[in-house]
Amino acid sequence: MPNQLTIQRPVEIEGVGLHTAVQCHLRLLPAPADTGIVFRRVDLDNFTIEAHVRNVARVSYATSLMRQSVLISTTEHLLAALYSCGIDNIFIELDALELPILDGSAKPFIEMLAQAGTRRLRRRRRYIRVLKPLEFSDGDRRIGIYPADEFSVRCLVDYRHPAAGPQEIEMVVNRDSFSRELAPARTFTFVKELVALQAMGLIRGGSLANAIVMDEESIMNPPLRFADEFVRHKALDLIGDLALIGRPLRARIVAHKAGHALHTQLVTRLLQDYSLWTETSQERPAAAARGRVSAASQAEAD
């Protein structure tokens, strides 16, 4: 039964927001047990917003949080890094409404967390263990969550583009696997969408340095970091949105052509139905733990 984690020391970084192009100074600080992941707008008298699905404001092209009309946007890359690294408690200070996009991936945040170190607290970690499946769809987009002893994701995309699809990835998510397999995967867009997005006041800070950009046939700023970088980034976004559950998950999630809207709907529907899950301090069910002990004892006997 592991204890909760926070970071050992403050770390900071700065950069422009993908959609606003506004410079943002971001600082991560240790937090006490049972704090959770909490954003603080230092430009607005340290106004706080918890990283929880009840504070989701909108999810078009990024996941934004809002409380009392105060907004924080493009949270998913940092949340994915924190969640995968098992950080239970942290204060995130920023002086603008949008987190910096940096290189378009979660890799810079993983590097920040490595620099910050971790500190174990004297309070048991609480898990959300899924007991029964929940699945739903929206057209050809589907998502489901299923009982499992570990946290794993399976993500499928198909952009009908020579460089982008179909692609699929499935993995057990922990600090090592996320840092190696998903964190470097960058956000992406299509040239044909740029004009429409800019007309909506979005991606003002976008550039070839912080996103993969594709025309009708090819990638405009190669090389890719992975041959299947697109589905890896979608899995990264999925994990960031799942962090809004507020507890580490013990479940398997399958997402087919899903996006922020379906991800956050899944979290909302799950938390609303208490028959689907339980909260526990056990990392794995007692029966599974006994099975591992028995297997180990048998191996020693052999």
The catalytic residues are: 260
Copy the structure tokens of residue 42: 């230092």
Q: Is 285 helix (H, G, I), strand (E, B) or coil?
A: coil
Q: Which residues pair with 12 in a beta bridge?
A: 27
CA distance 65 to 116: 25
Q: Strands 134-138 and 141-147, how do they pair?
A: antiparallel
Which residues are CB-neighbours of 16 under 8 A, at least 6 positions away?
22, 23, 24, 100, 101, 205
Report residue 139: phi and psi, to 5°: 65, -125
Q: CB neighbours (10 Å) of residue 62? A: 23
- Cα separations in angstroms, 195 against 199, 203, 214, 216: 6, 10, 14, 15
CB 243 within 8 A of CB 123: no
CB 260 within 8 A of CB 59: yes
265-301 burial string, b = 16+ CB within 10 Å, else e? bbbebbbeeeebbeebebbbeeeeeeeeeeeeeeeee
Q: Report how far Cα 272 is from the mean position of its chain's Cα atoms.
A: 21
